[in-house]
Structure 1
Amino acid sequence: MHFDLADLRLFIHIAESPSLTQGARRAFLSPAAASARVKALEGQLGSRLLYRDSRGVELTPAGQRLLQHARLIMRQVDYLKSEFTEYGTDAAGHIRIFANTTAVTEFLPEVLAGFLAARPGVTVDLQERLSRDIVRGVLDGAADLGIIAGPVEVSGLQVLHFSTDRLVLAVPLGHPLAGRGPLPLRDTLAYQHIGLHEGSTLLSFLREQVEKLGQSLALRIQVSSFEAVCRMIETGVGIGVIPESAALRHSRTMQLAIVELDEPWAVRERSMLVRDLEALPGSVRALIETLRSKGREL
């Protein structure tokens, strides 16, 4: 059985697009040519790979399995190319990262700025994802590196711890909860909260914890950053659960009180997820080492 790399890349484009036409366009092919190539793949595998209708395409179970293998194969091809570039083993390549909200907004921008400035040949695709999607993305080969907080229980991945993340409650000065000792989350639910945007990892995590208590999270407003959350809190709009690093930083310029949370999940280990550290190209390994060094300061 022989697979053409161009066909595998085309299949990935189609699977990640809403239609065969758009997938073909990404591969610089006509829809007819793309359709013929997919049919040839199906003939080789003896399995139908796509369901096609007026709404677009949907992967069959066999298509899902091929997509996982195709992503891994093309990732390894990209790794091979990056290892033999003129820039050297860690100074060129493309890195795709799936990360949680805190990583994307709090420390990755600073880390990546220095990392990329020193390596002109490296490009990065950074995407904010939910924890389950981060794990799945690394497993499937859709991402080279995942950054997550909290326990990770999955086989097939290497988990590299690099720092500790603590969640705290931020309230305005003079608030009834300001100055109190460690509080369980339940004691905060009588007040309106400021939350992050829909799809953020932290908001999804908090909702899960509140649902376990049989209650609901009263959100007064949702914003796009921890700075915006803190500004809302400072003016008395509500209270919010945010990472301690963000709370400490913004409390230097804003009128905020920080209250410790008495919850086992408030302290979370930050980890990097990879499939096989030794198989990664030099640029990804260099970024991992940079994050490990930065983790000592977080």
Structure 2
Amino acid sequence: MSFDLTDLRLFVHVAEAPSLTQGARRACLSTAAASARIQQLEARLGKRLFYRSARGMELTRAGQRLLTHARRMLRQIDHLMQDMAGDDDHTGHLRILANTTAVTELMPAVLGNFLAARPHLTIDLRERLNHEVIRGVEQGSADMGIVAGPVSTLELERYHFSTDRLVLITAPDHPLAQRQSVVLEDMVEDFHVGLPDTSSLMQFLTRRFQGVGAQLKLRVQVASFEAICRLVASNVGIGVIPESAALRHRQLMTLALVHIDAPWAVRERSVIVRDTATLPGGGMALIEALKHYGWRTGEVADSQR
């Protein structure tokens, strides 16, 4: 069975829209032409790929299976074209899914010098929850993912590159600032300053509080770790953020850092890929850059030293 790449790209565009009109526009086709192509693809496969309704296009189970394979095939075609256009790691395009800390703290620190040395390499970096990162790499919608903490990635290649930990930050005169360490129960009565509900860190902390039968009491939610630190330093509330971010911001403002005595506070960072042999240009070089960052900053687990 042969596949037309235009049909596959159209199918993916419609599935991700999910609207025939929007998908057709992304594929630079008229709605009528797109509809005819989708119907021809369904006839060729002998499977219905979409449920059509006034609300849009919804994938059938056969459509969901095709979407996974189509994404992988198209990514490989893109990688082939990139490899033919250049013979080193300085060209190409990488799509990366990562959790909150990686998007806001880690990747900006790593990508500065990395991309400056590779002017023809482009990167699409998007924030996702851990399970969404894993699914995206498994399904081929991303070249690589960055996850934190214990995750199951049996079908993927995983490379540990650093270890950070979550810490409690408070104003210096807060009662908890005098403690050597705290546990989760010590933090349930205080108001917290946190990230938006959509962030992976916020959802992780919310689940931890629910696990001890408590509610994470939020006084204000802001968009960055810097904003959290500024508000905490003003005694607006307490916060839980990565130690690497807390140490960096403590250089500019007065904060107390308190150790959290819990296994979940340790956050091992790993990069996951389906197969390093099929990574586009720059992929392996970026993995090495992440490893180097871990060694350089000292954010490496004792077992890796």
Give the TM-score normalised by structure 1: 0.98
Is residue 191–residue 218 contact of structure 1 (8 Å, CA) maintained in 2? yes
Indicate the RMSD between aligned Cα atoms, in angstroms.
0.9
Q: Which amino acid aligns with 2:39?
A: K
Q: Which residue of 1 aligns with 2:289?
A: 290
Q: Which residue of 2 aligns with 1:120?
A: 119
Is residue 91–residue 119 contact of structure 1 (8 Å, CA) maintained in 2? yes
Write the distance in 1 (CA, Å) between the matches of 2:9 and 2:100.
Answer: 30
Q: Which residue of 1 aligns with 2:22?
A: 22
Q: Which residue of 2 aligns with 1:245?
A: 244
Q: Percent identity?
A: 58
Q: Is 1:266 the counterpart of 2:230 in the alignment?
A: no
SS in structure 2 of the partner of residue 94 of structure 1:
strand
Deviation of the 1:277 alpha carbon: 1.1
Write the distance in 1 (CA, Å) between the matches of 2:23 and 2:278.
Answer: 29
Write the distance in 1 (CA, Å) between the matches of 2:109 and 2:163.
Answer: 18
Identify which range, 239-248 or 38-47, moves more after superposition.
38-47
Write the distance in 1 (CA, Å) between the matches of 2:153 and 2:126.
Answer: 21
Deviation of the 1:281 alpha carbon: 2.3
Q: Is 1:101 the counterpart of 2:93 in the alignment?
A: no
Q: Is 1:90 the counterpart of 2:89 in the alignment?
A: yes
Q: Which amino acid aligns with 2:214?
A: Q
Deviation of the 1:4 alpha carbon: 0.6
SS in structure 2 of the partner of residue 177 of structure 1:
helix
Write the distance in 1 (CA, Å) between the matches of 2:74 and 2:133.
Answer: 19
Write the distance in 1 (CA, Å) between the matches of 2:141 and 2:178.
Answer: 45
Deviation of the 1:198 alpha carbon: 2.0
Q: Which amino acid aligns with 1:28?
A: C
Is residue 94–residue 280 contact of structure 2 (8 Å, CA) maintained in 1? no
SS in structure 1 of the partner of residue 112 of structure 2:
helix
Deviation of the 1:36 alpha carbon: 0.8
Q: Is 1:162 the counterpart of 2:161 in the alignment?
A: yes
Deviation of the 1:127 alpha carbon: 0.2
Q: Deviations over 1:123-145 (max 9, x none)?
A: 11100001110000000001101
Write the distance in 2 (CA, Å) between the matches of 1:282 and 1:123.
Answer: 10
Write the distance in 2 (CA, Å) between the matches of 1:145 and 1:199.
Answer: 21
User: Can you give the 5+ residue segments of structure 2 that lack an aligned partner in the other structure?
Assistant: 300-305
Deviation of the 1:116 alpha carbon: 1.3
SS in structure 2 of the partner of residue 89 of structure 1:
coil
Q: Deviations over 1:61-85 (max 9, x none)?
A: 1111000000000111111111111
Query: 1:8-157 to 2 correspondence within 5 Å?
Result: 8-86=8-86, 88-157=87-156
Is residue 93–residue 281 contact of structure 2 (8 Å, CA) maintained in 1? no
Q: Which residue of 1 aligns with 2:302?
A: none
Q: Which residue of 2 aligns with 1:216?
A: 215
Write the distance in 2 (CA, Å) between the matches of 1:77 and 1:67.
Answer: 15
Write the distance in 2 (CA, Å) between the matches of 1:258 and 1:208.
Answer: 22
SS in structure 2 of the partner of residue 82 of structure 1:
helix
Is residue 89–residue 281 contact of structure 1 (8 Å, CA) maintained in 2? no
Write the distance in 2 (CA, Å) between the matches of 1:213 and 1:18.
Answer: 39
Write the distance in 1 (CA, Å) between the matches of 2:80 and 2:288.
Answer: 20
Write the distance in 1 (CA, Å) between the matches of 2:103 and 2:153.
Answer: 23
Deviation of the 1:113 alpha carbon: 1.9
Q: Which residue of 2 aligns with 1:193?
A: 192
Deviation of the 1:155 alpha carbon: 2.3
Q: Which amino acid aligns with 2:32?
A: A
Q: Which amino acid aligns with 1:213?
A: V
Q: Which amino acid aligns with 1:255?
A: T
Identify which range, 287-296 or 124-133, moves more after superposition.
287-296
Write the distance in 2 (CA, Å) between the matches of 1:6 and 1:295.
Answer: 42
Runs of 4+ in 1 over 6 A off after TM superposition: none
Q: Which residue of 2 aligns with 1:233?
A: 232
Deviation of the 1:282 alpha carbon: 3.0
Deviation of the 1:269 alpha carbon: 0.9
Deviation of the 1:112 alpha carbon: 1.3
